[in-house]
Chain A
Amino acid sequence: DADVTQTPRNRITKTGKRIMLECSQTKGHDRMYWYRQDPGLGLQLIYYSFDVKDINKGEISDGYSVSRQAQAKFSLSLESAIPNQTALYFCATSGPFATDTQYFGPGTRLTVL
């Protein structure tokens, strides 16, 4: 089984709709992250969580919110989706050190019409 799973894998929605992307990990790590990938822009950090009670905004958090339901679960919400949120979204988890590898989920491709 994969270390990091994301649901759904693909989603098409309309402007103004609320969307939730879910992430689960089995690595037992406290740290979890949500990234957005756009062509040519690489990965941009949306939110990150150092543990269940410690959630922080990343560089592009406007228009997004998150919930850390448990050590293993971290969900990302778009309260009112807009077309420029069309992108590939990745969840990741890692240990607490700078030397630690990040483990990524397979991604969710979101299209907002």
Chain B
Amino acid sequence: AQSVTQLDSQVPVFEEAPVELRCNYSSSVSVYLFWYVQYPNQGLQLLLKYLSGSTLVESINGFEAEFNKSQTSFHLRKPSVHISDTAEYFCAVSESGGSYIPTFGRGTSLIVHP
């Protein structure tokens, strides 16, 4: 069975600083990996996802994540954060077989200070 671990429950950072949100997964089969973002008082929305091909995937607002199969990781990074990036970030994994229902991590709260 698949599982996801987000290593940090909260990450405080100053505006314009770089940030990395860590995500590790466990699975015995091929996986697809997702990052979702939840802004205050909203539902989750997809930020980016890795399906196949290039291991580096990017979002439209400057985030990127790299799939590392050997380390079973899918860390999310941004070189310079904005106040508006303050949100809860969830990593999720779906396996290539079975019910195709994703498993979500517990979330990382990114807090950007001015």
Contacts and interface: CB of A to CB of B under 8 A. Distances in A.
Contacts of A104: 36, 43-45
Interface of B: 6, 9, 32, 34, 36, 41-46, 49, 51, 90, 92, 94-96, 100-102, 104-107
Contacts of B42: 106-107
A96 B44 contact: no
B43 A105 contact: yes
A101 B49 contact: yes
B104 to A, nearest CB: 4
Contact of A98 (B32, B36, B90, B105): B32
A98 B100 contact: yes
A52 interface: no
A90 interface: yes
Interface string A98-112: 111110111100000
B100 A96 contact: yes
24 contacts: A4-B43, A33-B101, A40-B9, A41-B106, A42-B105, A43-B90, A43-B104, A90-B43, A90-B44, A92-B43, A92-B44, A96-B100, A98-B95, A98-B100, A98-B102, A99-B32, A99-B94, A100-B100, A101-B49, A102-B36, A104-B44, A104-B45, A105-B43, A107-B43
Q: Which of A4, A92, A96, A99 has the most CB of B within 10 A?
A: A99
A68 B44 CA distance: 22
Contacts of B100: 96-98, 100
B18 to A, nearest CB: 25
B85 to A, nearest CB: 19
B59 to A, nearest CB: 13
Contacts of B41: 106
B107 A42 contact: yes
B76 to A, nearest CB: 15
B51 A102 contact: no
Interface string A24-52: 00000000010000001111010010000
A105 B94 CA distance: 20
Given A42-B90, A43-B90, A102 B9 contact: no
